[in-house]
Amino acid sequence: MKQIKYFAVAGLLCIAQTCFAQLINWKNLSPLQKHILSVNVGLDYGAVVGIGYSKQLKTKLPALLGISYSFPSGEKLLDDFKVKIGGQVRVYKIDNIQFSVAAHGTYRRFQNPFVRLQNFGSELKAVAGYYRPRWFVAGEMGFDKAIVTHFKHSAEFKSSFPEVRDGWYEPSTGGVFSYGIQTGYWFNNSAVTLEAGKLMNQDFQTKPLVPIYIRLGYNLAIK
């Protein structure tokens, strides 16, 4: 039982740095904005820094394909990190009211003195909001799932728990729901964005140690 609880907690640690996707003003997005670069800083299970790149696709519905990299601030900046690849698309609009969805595959790495975790997972997000050419405000809801995690335990941990085994595990729990708001203001080809909300574990009964997220970002659109 203790071992199962340990795996569950370790799996949840891999969720750190949840849904980060470039915040897009779909009303402002034009075919000339072929590339979008972004940086962001915020609170997401700790102080986090992220960078991202998206390319606008030539599709019937406005869509972007992108990659992002984020890491928590700390003594070893590259010790823990998250890489995400996927896309987002505007699926429907009614005048200034627009709806979009995003889906990403994720890879995370987390390490402490007892274990090194490598995790593959997925993120889904839905956004609905009011969009004007220079600004927008929207509500968002997402789900971040740790699907499979590789455990590499330290010699120190194995000396205390000799029965523990390294290898791939499917955690008994490892999902986090997020819900909040996002907004942004565009000037020329740049934008300042803000995203904030709350987090809840997939059992709907417990919350992460830091149950909120706040991210301040900057986007630059390039032809």
Higher pLDDT, 42 or 130: 130
Give the residues across from 142 on adjacent strands: 125, 178
* Per-residue pLDDT band at 89 (split at 50, 70, 90): very high
The domain over range 2-222 is classified in CATH as 2.40.160.40: yes
Break the chain into its structural domains and give their ranges: 2-222
Record the pTM.
0.85
Structural contact between residues 105 and 96, judged by C-beta atoms closer than 8 angstroms: no
Q: Which two tokens stand for residue 98?
A: 């627009």
DSSP 8-state class, residue 17: S
Cα 195 to Cα 137: distance, rounded to the nearest angstrom: 10
Measured over the CA atoms of residue 78, residue 81, residue 83 and residue 88, the dihedral's sign is negative
Structural contact between residues 176 and 208, judged by C-beta atoms closer than 8 angstroms: yes
For the stretch 40-70, pLDDT in tens is: 998 776 688 899 999 999 999 999 999 999 8
For the stretch 204-215, pLDDT in tens is: 888 877 889 999
pLDDT at 11 over 60: no
HSE value, Cβ hemisphere, 13 Å, CA-based, for 45: 23
Cα 73 to Cα 109: distance, rounded to the nearest angstrom: 14
Structural contact between residues 142 and 149, judged by C-beta atoms closer than 8 angstroms: no
